[in-house]
Structure 1
Amino acid sequence: MKPRTPLLAALALAAALTPPLARPAQLMSAPVAVATPQDSAALVARLSALDARPGLTNDYSFRISSQHPGVVGQKITRAQHTYKGLRVFGSESVVVTNAAGEILSVAASDRRPGLAPQATTPSGITPPLPADLTPRLNSDDAIRAAVQAIAPAGTHRWPPGAELLIYPLMKSARTAAAANKPEDQLNALDLEEVVDRYALAWLVQLRMAQDGRLVYYDVVIDARDGSLIAKWPALQTVTGIGNSQYNGQVPISTSATASGFQMLDSTRGSGGKFGGMAITNANHSSPNNPDPGNVYTNSGNTWGDGKQYSGGSTTDANGQTAAVNALWGLMNTYDTNKNVLGWQSLDGNNTATYIAAHVGSAYDNAFYDDSCKCMYIGDGNSFYSLGAIDVIGHEMSHGVTASTADLIYAGESGGLNESNSDIGGEMVEAYARAGGTGNSVPASGNDWMMGKEISKSGQPLRWMYKPSKDGSSPDAWSANLKNLDVHYSSGPNNRMFYFLAQGSSADPASDYHSPYLTRAPAAMSGIGTDKAYRIWFKALTTKFTSSTNYADARNKVLQAAQELYGASSKEAIAVQRAYAAINVGADIDEAGDGGGGGGGGGQATERVVNGGFEDGATGWSGSTYVIGTHSAQPAYEGTRYAWLGGNGRRSSETLTQRVDIPAAATSAQLSFALHIDTAETSNTVYDTLTVSLRAAGGAALATLATYTNLTPAAGYQLRSFDLLPFKGQSVTLSFAMREDRSKQTSFVLDKVSLLTK
């Protein structure tokens, strides 16, 4: 290996030497600035360049839909896919960029006409692309059709909206490997969602009330004939759960007024309706059209009597108890995500929200309303008051989902939406009951049951460790899962999370046993609640799309574990085992290496030869002399790596490898570990590493990323890219480094992997 300019800082070297399991927890960034139109246009241009492929015309583009913080120094942008200017429903990319605006990774669900995997008719003809994109119904017609189908006698709480879009009607298709598998032996990875046909449609959002209840639905209306294509509920609710009357005296953060105090916490969140986190008195406002009312006030700063609401005044000590419950729950929800993850409020941008107590009379419900980004709580009738700590954590977690992945509230994605809220509720409960302080989720304090405290029978609404105990929720994935109510289809993922955190039992008679765990040991090991939550939250906020299903969730949660703890870490292995325990992917041995970060017991195939460089130049072409080892730089794994750059003079070095992506692939994930160190001090790009794909003839297919001297980092960072759009092609993977005439920049590459399924 040629001489190198030593890496600069001892601090950076010490950080790089830190093994994967000792890496500090990654916190989410502070609130991000709203992108300017110029910033959005620049990102769309970079995405379009990245997405360049045969058959892609100017008909295809992107539309920036939302932005939120990633880990420190990163931003997450969600870009909807468009075709001829119309959004393709459920088709989008999740883009991670650094402080310089460079793309670090892209996760996608691609359902665009002509590009997405499509089903075929018996004649072998693929579904036709939408030809005429002119609707025969206008938006008012579509709204009338939706109202007629959902709530003909209802009234609008919020003005209805209608968006013209291309709606892919999906169907499940077996993979080639599962073509002859018996139905009862199917695993979630044996099926893939494919486009059956496309429809020009109106997506109508109805936020109505009828017969004393809220009727919130998203409705898809055919733009040609006005027929109903699909509908799903948009009100995200939970029934029952206790409140802080079960937690004794609790500290609450209020603010002073001229005449006393109010339940306005100005230390948590900013802006919003009240300028801070607030609890309001709905004062029995009808659930048909609830009015949040005014912020709770009191002459003194002692609130409530700790007893179940008796039905009298909503402002005396007994009436204040529901508000105490709500504020304590809201504070702890905020603190859990802020102190543990660095995530501020529901949207990550620290926008304040509020909870309205005493909705209705003896109202047996609590719900999150994304129209106001707030929560309403009833006093209960069959249940006790619905302001319990895990219910508030549950409902507020719907707000996090709405601000990030925005999982469609139907089918498997709807089950994952509900499961995320159950997970959030349990994490908040654990954090609050351990004192509500610290930077980790405690290992105990929650009961892994939703609704136990408020249930007058003592029976919870859901058991996370054994969902089937409620009589309706399955313990594992099956092809019928997408047909269940989302509160039941959440069950398998709840169980997955419990196993990931706490482990399982080898005893077949135990509630904590899974018959799908067939490898050693029979009782899988958990990684602890704190790590499990970090992995899950990272996957939700930086990788999930609105249409993510169980199979996709498994792959993306695994990627999150690999990025946080290492490609072959015990945490990554535990994710594979936890999903295998619910029939999503195959089981593996804990003593194994995790299948190179995604093997899944034979479910994935590694396409890169010698990606860890342990066999020297084997499999690689170009400047292979950069492969080796050096005392100034540790490897990410093993002992060798590729050190591109670090010369401190004008130079260029390139490593390439030809890889094949099968036409039948349902997943193709490229990943690599990269450490960047530089001696450059100017805020100018001098040295670059370009990662790209080239066709068999040498023509450029796509530039995946360009890294520069402006993006150094202490230690390795895992980068990942979705290469499924290039399936059926033999491509050359290229890492090309260019240095200018002075001051070195080192691009140290290791653990290159392309896993296909």
Structure 2
Amino acid sequence: MKRVTSVGAIAVLAAAALAAAPAGANLASAPLPASGFNQPAAVQAEQAVAAKTAEALGLAKGEVLKVRDVVKDADGTEFVRYDRTFNGLKVVGGDLIVKRSAAGTVSQITYNRNAKAVGLTSTKPTLSQAAALAKGAKAAGFKATANKGALVIYVSETKPVLAYEVVTSGVKADQTPSVLHSFFDAKTGALLDSDDEVKTGTGNSMYSGQVSIGTSGSYVLKDTARGGNYTTDLNGGSSGAGTTFTDADNVWGNGTTSSRQTAGVDAHFGSQLTWDYYKNVHGRNGIFNNGQGARSRVHYGNAYVNAFWDGTQMTYGDGQGNARPLTSIDVAGHEMSHGVTEATANLNYSGDAGGLNEATSDIFGTLVEFSANNATDKGDYLIGEKININGNGTPLRYMDKPSKDGRGSQDCWTTGTKNLDPHYSSGPLNHWFYMASEGTGAKTINGVNYSTTSCNGTTFVGAGRDVVGKIWYRTLTTKLSSGSNYAAARNGVINSAKELYGAGSAQCLAVQRAMAGINAPAGTAAC
């Protein structure tokens, strides 16, 4: 799912987009609990009237809506995110967002890839399922432990296509697990796209000094105050839940790798800080906004130099020589934020969307690190500066100038950005976040020197990282869809800033100038 048309990802109040549900249409919904907004209850309430919503939107016969997420503003405005099926088949890329007032009046519809209609005249394949499964196993490039497939409707860049979704599970040569979704045209057998459920990332060293962590019982590394977040020891394994850490006196680890608990402490502390950041800043109650915590697994594999989110949990390797566990604050923020992205916009891990996905985790990992205000691991705009994977003390990624990594990260968006690995196509959005927050020019923050220039030669001041974080969170949760591109991101941050701070505000101008400053394609939105 490599790209989406520039207007399709961020819907505008256009007659074409609202043809089936003109402004003023009322999509009735069940009332929310009197005690205030409750995410699970809101989803349940919207699902109860999903059929009525589909009818009001003028969706074709056979199309069924399933509510994935609800965002509600203080004034009662709702953004309801739906997935779709057609005649029982999952529609990949068929997600849409309906914005409506407290009275139920529709003011905006966001169709991913402009795909208002997703139905097909025939759902009979030419390619056999066995042939599709063989193609999926070959495309994976690793020995499969499981390989299954089913017919779906895949929303391509131009039209819906009958396809097989083949899900191939296994472990790559570098020990990273993979759950690869490959999409093959059910008539021609052509590979349409692929997307891996396992999202990888890296961060700082394990050391955060002496910290307070949430435990329970006598004593278990489980944080009952934060949805039951808990941390386990895989002891070098690469599967399973691991063994939950326990301790006799509630004093955990010793600050070095000689104690297996130390990596667990850092991972647990990072998940705690990330939970608190999303709760205190954005009002989000856990990764999936349902009050439920998640598991963190440490000591994965042998000298595994990475960390990943696999759809349900965070997992951390022990780094080079099993001596540098990747369990610091911003790693936890990065990995848990992949979960938040999955629960909201569900950005693909390919094309422009892959870069937006990966940069989102860098952005929120950075914001978690700054919000932690930890004296040992101070906030910065550098990713992985303490792991020393390069062997010379340099970080993996630089948000003020992504191209400094020497690996191919881009400072500026181009038409070729979508063809890069997500860790490199993330460069333009990381650059945007830094400039929107801090402005252009030279600056020293927490002892680190930064210097950035815009791609279009303009100079401007930033709006502050906390402001920009709120704007990007709103964009992620109310504007972007699975196949969104950089044009969608540009429209999204401008519209989000206008909603939060007003048209013509300094905050809106800062994010708009920074988007122009990375050469993001111009869209329809303006401050």
**What TM-score results when the alignment is normalised by the length of structure 1?**
0.59
Which one has the bigger helix percentage?
Answer: 2
Residue in 2 that maps onto 1:264: 222
**1:321-340 Cα distance to aligned partner (Å, 9 max, x none):** 00110111010000011011
**2:207 is aligned with 1:199:** no
How far did residue 402 of structure 1 move? 0.5
Instruction: Flag the 1:97–1:465 CA change in 2: closer, same or farther, 3 A.
Output: same
- Tell me the CA shift for residue 454 of structure 1: 1.7
Give the Cα–Cα distance (whole angstroms) in 2 for the partners of residues 496 and 67 of structure 1.
Answer: 27
Counterpart residue number, 1:155: 145
**What is the number of equivalent residue pairs in this alignment?**
480
- 1:386 and 1:482, CA in 2 relative to 1: closer, same or farther beyond 3 A? same
Q: How far off its partner does 1:265 sit?
A: 0.5
Q: Secondary structure of the equivalent of 1:106?
A: strand
Cα pair 2:202 2:383 within 8 Å, conserved: no
Please give the residue correspondences for 1:234-383 in structure 2 after superposition, counting only pairs within 5 Å.
Answer: 234-239=197-202, 241-243=204-206, 245=207, 247-257=208-218, 261-269=219-227, 276-285=228-237, 287=238, 290-307=239-256, 309-310=257-258, 318-370=259-311, 373-381=312-320
Structure 1 residue 354: Cα displacement: 1.1
Q: What corresponds to 1:448 in structure 2? A: 381
In the alignment, which residue of structure 2 is the partner of 1:689?
A: none
Per-residue deviation, residues 482-533 of structure 1 (Å, max 9, x unmatched): 11011000000001011111111299xx831114144xxxx31111111111
For 1:134 and 1:498, the matched residues in 2 are separated by 49
The alpha carbon displacement at 1:97 in A equals: 5.1
Instruction: Decide whether aligned partners of structure 1 residues 346 and 445 sit closer, same or farther in structure 2, where only a CA change above 3 A counts.
Output: same
Q: 1:69-218 residue pairs with structure 2 within 5 A?
A: 69-72=71-74, 73=76, 76-81=79-84, 86-96=89-99, 103=106, 105-112=108-115, 130-137=120-127, 139=129, 142-151=132-141, 153-156=143-146, 162-170=149-157, 195=158, 198-209=160-171, 212-218=175-181
| Equivalent residues of 1:240, 1:364 under 8 A apart | no
Q: Which amino acid aligns with 1:405?
A: A
Match of 1:583 in 2: 519
2:525 is aligned with what amino acid?
Answer: G
Quick one: distance in 2 between partners of 1:105 and 1:452? Answer: 42
Alpha-carbon distance between aligned partners in 1 of 2:452 and 2:421, rounded to the nearest angstrom: 24
Distance in structure 2 (CA, Å) of the matches to 1:97 and 1:163: 35
| Separation in structure 1 between the aligned mates of residue 107 and residue 229 of structure 2, nearest angstrom | 34
**2:401 matches 1:466:** yes
Check whether the contact 1:409–1:417 (CA below 8 A) recurs between aligned residues: yes
Cα 1:465/1:152, change in 2 over 3 Å: closer
Structure 1 range deviating more: 206-215 or 388-397: 206-215
Structure 2 counterpart of 1:32: 40
Output the amino acid matched with 2:197. Answer: A
**Any idea what the Cα deviations from partners look like across 1:93-116, whole Å, max 9, x if unmatched?**
112456776656433324438x69
- Given that 1:241 and 1:385 are in contact with CA atoms closer than 8 Å, whether structure 2 keeps it comes out as no
Report matched runs for 1:394-405 at 5 Å. Answer: 394-405=334-345
The structure with the largest strand share of the pair is 1
| Aligned residue among 481, 489, 493 for 1:557 | 493
Within 5 Å, give how 1:491-506 maps onto structure 2.
491-505=427-441
C-alpha RMSD over aligned residues: 2.9
- Once residues 202 and 586 of structure 1 are traced to their aligned partners in structure 2, the CA distance between those partners, rounded to angstroms, is 35
Indicate if the aligned counterparts of 2:50 and 2:65 stay in contact, CA closer than 8 A.
Answer: no
One-letter code aligned to 1:262: V
User: Aligned pair in 2 of structure 1 residues 30, 446: CA closer, same or farther (>3 Å)?
Assistant: farther
Q: Contact 1:91/1:547 (CA < 8 Å) preserved in 2?
A: no
Superposition map of 1:4-19 within 5 A? none
- Greater C-alpha Rg: 1
The one-letter amino acid of 2:405's match is D
Amino acid at match of 1:251: S
Q: How far 1:60 moved relative to its partner?
A: 6.8
Q: CA deviation at 1:293?
A: 1.4
Query: By how many angstroms is 1:131 displaced?
Result: 4.1
Matches of 1:141 and 1:152, distance apart in 2: 18
Is the CA contact 1:203–1:221 (under 8 Å) kept in the aligned structure 2? yes
Mapping for residues 396-415 of structure 1, pairs under 5 Å: 396-415=336-355
2:446 match: none
Percent of paired sites with the same residue: 36
Match of 1:430 among 344, 350, 370: 370
Query: Which string of whole-angstrom CA distances, capped at 9 and with x for unpartnered residues, describes residues 296-353 of structure 1?
Result: 000011111111x25xxxxxxx111001101110100000110111111101111210
Q: Letter of the 1:279 partner, please give it.
A: T
- How big is the shift at 1:277? 0.6
Distance 2:54 2:120 in 1: 24
Q: Distance in 1 between matches of 2:131 and 2:340?
A: 33
Report how far residue 202 of structure 1 moved: 1.3
Q: Distance in 1 between matches of 2:172 and 2:465?
A: 42
Gaps of 5+ in 2: 1-35, 444-449
Tell me if 1:513 matches 2:453.
Answer: yes
Retained in 2: the 8 A contact 1:32–1:69? no
After superposition, the Cα gap between the structure-2 partners of 1:575 and 1:134, relative to the gap in structure 1 and judged at 3 Å, is: same
Is 1:42 aligned with 2:49?
A: yes
Residues 561, 60 of structure 1: alpha-carbon distance in 2 compared, 3 angstrom cutoff: farther
Change (3 A) 1:325 1:163: same
Q: Does 1:567 align with 2:503?
A: yes
1:6-55: CA deviation from partner (whole Å, max 9, x where unpaired):
xxxxxxxxxxxxxxxxxxxxxx954331644x842523423442x34xxx
**Residues 67 and 75 in structure 1, CA contact (< 8 A), matched pair in contact too:** no
- Asked whether the equivalents of residues 130 and 198 of structure 1 are also in contact (C-alpha less than 8 Å), the reply is yes
Distance in 2, Cα, partners of 1:88 & 1:405: 15
Partner Cα separation in structure 2 for residue 329 and residue 535 of structure 1: 23
Find the aligned partners of 1:68 and 1:44 in 2 and give their Cα distance: 16
Tell me the distance in 2 between the aligned counterparts of 1:448 and 1:428. 11
Distance change in 2, residues 1:154/1:105 (3 Å): same
* 1:241–1:451 contact (8 Å) kept in structure 2: yes
Asked whether the equivalents of residues 71 and 478 of structure 2 are also in contact (C-alpha less than 8 Å), the reply is no
Q: Residues 430 and 111 of structure 1: is their aligned pair in 2 closer, same or farther, counting only changes over 3 Å?
A: same
1:43 partner letter? A
Structure 1: 5+ residue stretches without partners: 1-27, 117-128, 171-194, 270-275, 311-317, 437-443, 588-596, 601-757
**1:514-556 deviations in Å (ceiling 9; x for gaps):** 14144xxxx3111111111111001101111111100011101
Contact 1:32 1:75 in 2 (8 A): no
Aligned to 1:221: 184
- What's the CA shift string for 1:620-640, capped at 9, x where partnerless? xxxxxxxxxxxxxxxxxxxxx
